[in-house]
Amino acid sequence: MHRWFFADEEIIRKEPTPIPTLASPTPTTSLSSVISESLWKFTVKYDGKLCYNEIVALSGSIEALGSWQLQQCVLLTLLEDLNCPGLWTASISLPRKDDIRYRYLICAHNGRGHRIVRFWEAHKGGRVIRREDEQEHEAMSFDVFGMQNGIYQIERGWIGLHAVGVQFKLHGNPFHMKTHELKDATYLYCVKLSPMKIKTRSDCGNGKMSRLVYSDSKVQQKEDPSSRASFAFCEVASMGPKGNGEFRSQSKYGTPCDPQEILMFHLTLDDLPNTAYLIELYTIPQKAAEDIPPYHIGYQYVLPQYLHGAEGNLHMTILCATKHRPIGALSLDYLLIKPLPGYEFLLNDSQQRECKRQHQVLDIGHRGCGKSFWCKDNILRENTLHSFQKAVEHGADMIEFDVQLTQDRVPIVYHDFQLYIVNKDELSKKEYDVMKLFLHKKEISVVNSYVKVLKSGVKVLPVNKLSLQQLQQVEVYHNPKENQRFKACLEDKNLSLPFPMLKEILKKMPPTLPFLVEIKWPQRFTNKEWEEHFKPDMDKNEFVDTILQEVFTNAGDSRPIIFSSFDANICSLIRFKQNRYPVVFICHSTDSDAAYLDPLGDTLVNATNFVTALQLWGIVADADAILKSARYVVDMRNRNIRFFASGSSTRDEKIRRSLKAIGVDGIIFDRINHVLNVDDLKQNIFVIDVRE
């Protein structure tokens, strides 16, 4: 294999400073006449450095500008202007019947003609040329990449249909060295990861590492970037307490990684089966002089066949850089981000979709009106159409709900990963939401194979082991009388049944009502146990794809939707699979005593750095943690990150006033319908019975 020719290129991206004497072009307006067609010269200044497969491009709302389609975008030409370097231009004949909107972007392309968006201007609506505008060609004027109306806004692109994202993550003291010298705390480890091109498939299959040759030769500057068959871009971000969360190019000797650090390497490439990854390890004394270079102590290769499924953890031997003998071990997590099948997203979509606000701070109904409780003679059940409608009636600006999949991969709205089962209907209906699930004998024998008995004696059955049809056989109680009986409810006549389909929620709720959709995925603890004792068995890419496809099919164009998840990898997948809907990351609750295996959600600092690196839309954090660290709200504002508060304490009106005072963007809380004198039901309990 060989090292990709631009793997070590410095990619320095900085905010360009507009030159006062050369302002962005301001077209003159002639109201007396409208030109049917004119030659328009687009010129933009980009001060950053580009890799060899990268080029500045232009896309817009008309056919001549590609009709917002990435593969038809207009590639600009670099002007050789020593007085004003970094100018890219194209002259295009434009029809002038209507206003024209456009954006600039940085795209990468290969020898097969495939393009991906590396970075793009994501201002809402984009730039505009009015139908009556005229351009003064004699004046030297240009746009500044990313700057529009005084606002600088550049978003990282998505992977599209012709690329794959790969993430490697180091955290929790990932190095375990054999010798005392290598364990010395006075030395700091630095890690460098480089994508490697495998020449033949046998190179990675026969274990002959000597055949995996790489080259550091540079490509001539005037070489046509499209002549290169493949592309691969690698950046790194520090997300721990000492980092700032900004992705950057790697230095010559890698990036420092101490025991408290969280390093994420993010790669975008178009040839996953023929790409390996060289991990190089350097050491440097903690108090070394600036002129002392790090010492190369070890290395290891991650071959493509090591990456099974969407995510995993690798434990690898570190080989000595000189003697090629084992000197220690390395642990790292990986994530593969595959394209959403069948979707080619347009460049007019932007994740910066503002929700219409009735108040300064969004009031967000948690699961509708909150956890299930008795309301008069019926249960106002969480995550149901009835609860959502009640929340809207009482002024909710947005509805939050949970989504997971059934056995037949239908997205449904339900919170718990497990159904908690009892043999007999003996629990108090005033304390528990008791429901009966009718199954045929053959179905019962099948689902019993998935039933697990917990230490407490309670039986649990994973929701995803039942089909939608089976879940819809549920029957519920309708009043709290002592002689109550289960009552079956027709779907169209009763909106209080659990397990509504996501499609149903999207179709039946008001089309402009904003949704905050939490994608459910169990978290793993440091003791290797799973949340709710539920270990997922579905590929995470397929899981996310199924939910995204349901939303894109049924959500319509007018509904604002924000995705959220406690799982950092879920957030990464949604972020890089599409460009339409924003994503927020949910921090771990401060009420939990459990230590999570993934530390990104453990603290506001870690979460903020993760959101900054991936350019997610915002963070959901526990209200108590926010109030204790109110200074982070200012940090959120400075980083253009939205901040939402949640947790049991948000039921308190005083807490909500305090949160609004420090400037959170939204508050997710129960009982938005102001019913505060009734306790929550403790648990959803199911009785499985035989259907005749």
| pLDDT tens digits, one per residue of 516-533 | 999 999 999 999 999 999
Identical topology for domains 37-156 and 362-622+637-652+664-690 = no
Q: What is the pLDDT of residue 691?
A: 80
pLDDT at 31 over 50: no
Highest-scoring range by mean pLDDT, 14-23, 189-198, 631-640: 189-198
Element (H, E) at 205: helix 201-205
Task: Give the pLDDT confidence of 235-252 residue by residue, as tens digits.
Answer: 999 999 888 999 999 999
Element (H, E) at 636: helix 631-638
**Amino acid, res. 315:** H
How many residues are present in the chain? 692
Residue matched to tokens 């023929």: 274
CB 669 within 8 A of CB 370: yes
Q: What is the pLDDT of residue 485?
A: 53
Beta bridge partners of 569: none
Please, which pLDDT band fits residue 589 given cuts at 50, 70 and 90?
confident
Tell me the fold of 164-202+228-337: Immunoglobulin-like (2.60.40)
Q: What is the pLDDT of residue 220?
A: 32
Measured in Å, how far apart are the chain's first and last C-alpha atoms?
64
Alpha helices in 346-410 (DSSP H): 385-393
**Top-confidence residue, 294 or 336:** 336
Label each residue of 284-322 as H, E or C. Answer: EECCCCCCCCCEEEEEEEECHHHCCCCEEEEEEEEEECC
CATH dotted code for 37-156: 2.60.40.10
Please, which pLDDT band fits residue 380 given cuts at 50, 70 and 90?
very high
Please, which pLDDT band fits residue 231 given cuts at 50, 70 and 90?
confident
Task: Give the pLDDT confidence of 389-423 residue by residue, as tens digits.
Answer: 999 999 999 999 999 999 999 999 999 999 999 88
Neighbours of 125 (CB within 10 A): 11
Please, which pLDDT band fits residue 138 given cuts at 50, 70 and 90?
low
Classify residue 460 by burial, with Cβ atoms within 10 Å: 0-12, 13-18, 19+.
Answer: buried
Helix (H/G/I), strand (E/B), else coil: 606: helix
Among the residue ranges 13-27, 99-113, 398-412, the one predicted with the least confidence is: 13-27
The C-alpha atoms of residue 350 and residue 121 are separated, in whole angstroms, by 9
342: alpha, beta or left, given left = phi > 0 and alpha = psi -120 to 50? left
From 352, 334, 351, select the one nearest 541 (Cα to Cα).
334
Average pLDDT over residues 450-467: 92
In sequence order, the 6+-apart residues with CB closer than 8 A to the CB of 399 are: 364, 365, 368, 388, 391, 392, 509, 513, 514, 515, 516
Q: In the numeric block, which tokens belong to residue 438?
A: 């009718």
Output the CA torsion 413→414→417→419 (10° steps). -130
Show the CA angle centred on residue 600, arms to residues 314 and 370, nearest 5°.
125
Identify how many contiguous H helices and E strands the chain contains and give both numbers.
Answer: 11, 42
Domain limits of the chain?
Answer: 37-156, 164-202+228-337, 362-622+637-652+664-690
CB 555 within 8 A of CB 578: no
The C-alpha atoms of residue 8 and residue 51 are separated, in whole angstroms, by 10
Please, which pLDDT band fits residue 551 given cuts at 50, 70 and 90?
very high
Q: In the numeric block, which tokens belong to residue 233?
A: 């871009």
Average pLDDT over residues 112-129: 92
Neighbours of 418 (CB within 10 A): 23
pTM over the 0.95 mark: no
Alpha helices in 424-539 (DSSP H): 441-447, 468-471, 502-508
Q: Where are the beta strands (DSSP E) in 28-114?
A: 28-29, 37-45, 54-60, 74-75, 77-78, 87-95, 100-109
Element (H, E) at 661: helix 653-662
Element (H, E) at 553: helix 540-554
Percent share of the chain, pLDDT over 70: 84
The C-alpha atoms of residue 556 and residue 534 are separated, in whole angstroms, by 33
pLDDT at 140 over 50: yes
Q: What is the pLDDT of residue 325?
A: 94
The C-alpha atoms of residue 565 and residue 547 are separated, in whole angstroms, by 13
Q: What is the pLDDT of residue 255?
A: 94
Top CATH class, 362-622+637-652+664-690: alpha beta
**Top-confidence residue, 631 or 519:** 519
The C-alpha atoms of residue 63 and residue 75 are separated, in whole angstroms, by 14
Q: What is the pLDDT of residue 182?
A: 64
Sign of CA dihedral 568, 571, 575, 578: positive
What backbone phi and psi angles, to 5 degrees, belong to 367? 55, 30
Percent share of the chain, pLDDT over 90: 67
Q: What is the pLDDT of residue 291?
A: 74
Q: In the numeric block, which tokens belong to residue 286?
A: 């903690």
Calculate the average pLDDT of the chain.
86
Q: In the numeric block, which tokens belong to residue 551?
A: 């939303």
Please, which pLDDT band fits residue 221 given cuts at 50, 70 and 90?
very low
**Top-confidence residue, 480 or 522:** 522
**Top-confidence residue, 205 or 442:** 442
Q: What is the pLDDT of residue 677?
A: 85
Give per-residue burial for 488-514: e unless 16+ CB within 10 Å, then b: eeeeeebbbbbbbbbbebbeebeeebb
Provide the pairing of β-strand 275-285 with 295-302: antiparallel
Tell me, rounded to whole angstroms, the distance of Cα 489 from its chain centroid.
Answer: 38
pLDDT at 14 over 60: no
Q: What is the pLDDT of residue 226?
A: 42
Q: In the numeric block, which tokens belong to residue 208?
A: 């002959």
The C-alpha atoms of residue 266 and residue 491 are separated, in whole angstroms, by 46
Q: What is the pLDDT of residue 490?
A: 37
Average pLDDT over residues 331-354: 87
pLDDT at 547 over 80: yes
Average pLDDT over residues 244-265: 93
Q: What is the pLDDT of residue 454?
A: 87
Helix (H/G/I), strand (E/B), else coil: 576: helix
The C-alpha atoms of residue 604 and residue 633 are separated, in whole angstroms, by 10
Q: In the numeric block, which tokens belong to residue 49?
A: 């450095």
Q: In the numeric block, which tokens belong to residue 559?
A: 């509904």
**Amino acid, res. 555:** A
**Top-confidence residue, 268 or 221:** 268
CB 314 within 8 A of CB 118: no
